[in-house]
Amino acid sequence: MTDFAATKALFQMPDGVIYLDGNSLGPLPKAAPARMDAAMRDEWGELLITGWNKAGWMAQPAKLGDRIARLIGAETGHVVLGDTLSIKVYQALASALEMVPDRRVILSDSGNFPSDLYMAEGLIKTLGKGHELRVVAPEEVEVNITDEVAVLMITEVDYRTGRLHDMARLTRKAHEVGAITVWDLAHTAGATAVDVSGAGADFAVGCTYKYLNGGPGAPAFIYVAPRHADAARPALSGWLGHEAPFAFEASYRAGPGIERMRVGTPPVLAMAALESALDIWDMTTMDAVRARSTQLTELFIDRVEAACPMLELASPRDPAMRGSQVSFRFADGYAAIQALIARGVIGDFRAPDIMRFGFTPLYLDHADVEAAAAIIAEVMQKRLWDAPEYKTRARVT
């Protein structure tokens, strides 16, 4: 049994705040400042460049990758960290397309995160081979997996509604028609009990600053299935993906396995912060987190719907069909979220009308949910959101 009271005590949270936005940026692990201070003072400060060997900086991307592998059901030695999620999407998609050279369709859905679609559009223009990005409704993905499709590129959990795709079923259908799969786990890793190996996923990518609590700008990760690890050609052939990076050869030779998906110099200080977060994840399992998450989201929906009939549930009602977030539709959703933030309940807004709330059991409990629902009820019933100061949109929503 996971002691969630113990994990909650390991995060820093401002007084008077109920944080329901860990699906966008996780809070600070209390141990992270000391870990980063040690990385700066004792490692960078004292070891200088020798830290790459003596402090193990060069091995960090693979070591942390193995720790994340446990949370996404991946095999050891097949996840590596570095760069941003958009870069990892580009890498995975480019490699996947090369594996199916006689096809031109990339299939995705309208619930995918826009950056993934943008990266696909850019890659298509760069390749100049007539590829097509075909975007369908989330409910229509399966019927559109045909023998035209080269790559199925899907974000498992819809960033707006929390709708959860069936990775195993869609991957199986893709493989039946000879397509390759690329799964974005940005709202999955640390939120649901995913099993990329069991589902047969070909590639998976994700970020570490949301549910994994690695901090703003924390590095992304990429997974390559063992059957592809030594065959996938890295489109971004950076020097640390070279078979012998310190031989400084004039031409590129891809490194072995997942190492070839490394690109540039790893973000050592950011990875130090992530280490502190993963220490907390070592105290639990994804099955325990998922069970607790379901309890919290069910309670939240029950309380909010009972008190706020003006809010329309945008997330699937069946907990098995949604991730670890709950979204409601409301025409003045932006103003409502700002009014909630002013009263200590932090969620976020996604255009055009989504009020979005994330649930991370590592630091949220039933009392937090009850208190948040009561504040939401007050803001909505009394129309406290209907004030000019809540309606001017900031750059980040």
pTM: 0.97
Q: What are phi and psi of 211, to 5 degrees?
A: -65, -25
pLDDT value, residue 11: 98
CB proximity list for 6: less than 8 A, separation 6 or greater: 283
Q: What's the pLDDT at 68?
A: 98
User: If you search the block for the tokens 């020097």, which residue do you land on?
Assistant: 239
Name the CATH architecture for the domain at 56-282: 3-Layer(aba) Sandwich (3.40)
pLDDT of residue 113: 94
Q: Is 85 assigned to a binding site?
A: yes
Is 78 marked as binding a ligand? no
* Cα 239 to Cα 291: distance, rounded to the nearest angstrom: 42
Which superfamily does CATH assign the domain made up of 4-30+285-390 to? Aspartate Aminotransferase, domain 1 (3.90.1150.10)
So which residues are the catalytic ones? 113, 184, 209-210, 356
pLDDT value at position 231? Answer: 95
209 is in an annotated binding site: yes
265 annotated binding-site participant: yes
**CA 118, CA 111: separation in Å to the nearest integer?**
13
pLDDT at 1: 87
pLDDT at 397: 83
Is 86 annotated among the ligand-binding residues? yes
Q: What 3-state class would DSSP assign to 141?
A: coil
Burial of 140 (0-12, 13-18, 19+ CB in 10 A): exposed
Domain ranges of the chain: 4-30+285-390, 56-282
Q: What angle do CA 265, 62, 101 make, to 5 degrees?
A: 85
282 is annotated as contributing to ligand binding:
no
Which residues lie closer than 8 Å to 35 by C-beta, 6 or more apart? 272, 273, 275, 276
**At CA 155, angle to CA 153 and CA 158, rounded to 5?**
140
Only one residue has tokens 């091995």, namely 59
Answer yes or no: are the C-beta atoms of 53 and 232 closer than 8 Å. no
pLDDT at position 48 is 98
Q: How far apart are alpha carbons 69 and 63 in whole angstroms?
A: 10
pLDDT of 273 reads 98
Q: Tens place of pLDDT for every residue, the chain, 397 residues?
A: 899 999 999 999 999 999 999 999 999 999 999 999 999 999 999 999 999 999 999 999 999 999 999 999 999 999 999 999 999 999 999 999 999 999 999 999 999 999 999 999 999 999 999 999 999 999 999 999 999 999 999 999 999 999 999 999 999 999 999 999 999 999 999 999 999 999 999 999 999 999 999 999 999 999 999 999 999 999 999 999 999 999 999 999 999 999 999 999 999 999 999 999 999 999 999 999 999 999 999 999 999 999 999 999 999 999 999 999 999 999 999 999 999 999 999 999 999 999 999 999 999 999 999 999 999 999 999 999 999 999 999 998 8
pLDDT at 254: 97
Question: Backbone phi, then psi, for 283, in 5-degree steps?
Answer: -90, 0
- Ligand-binding annotation for 211, yes or no, is no
Q: Which residue has 């932006």 as its token pair? A: 334
Q: Estimate to the nearest angstrom the gap between the alpha carbon of 239 and the chain centroid.
A: 26
Cα–Cα distance for residue pair 331/353, rounded to 1 Å: 5
390 annotated as ligand-binding: no
Does 184 carry a binding-site annotation?
Answer: yes
Provide DSSP, 4-17: HHHHHTTEE--TT-
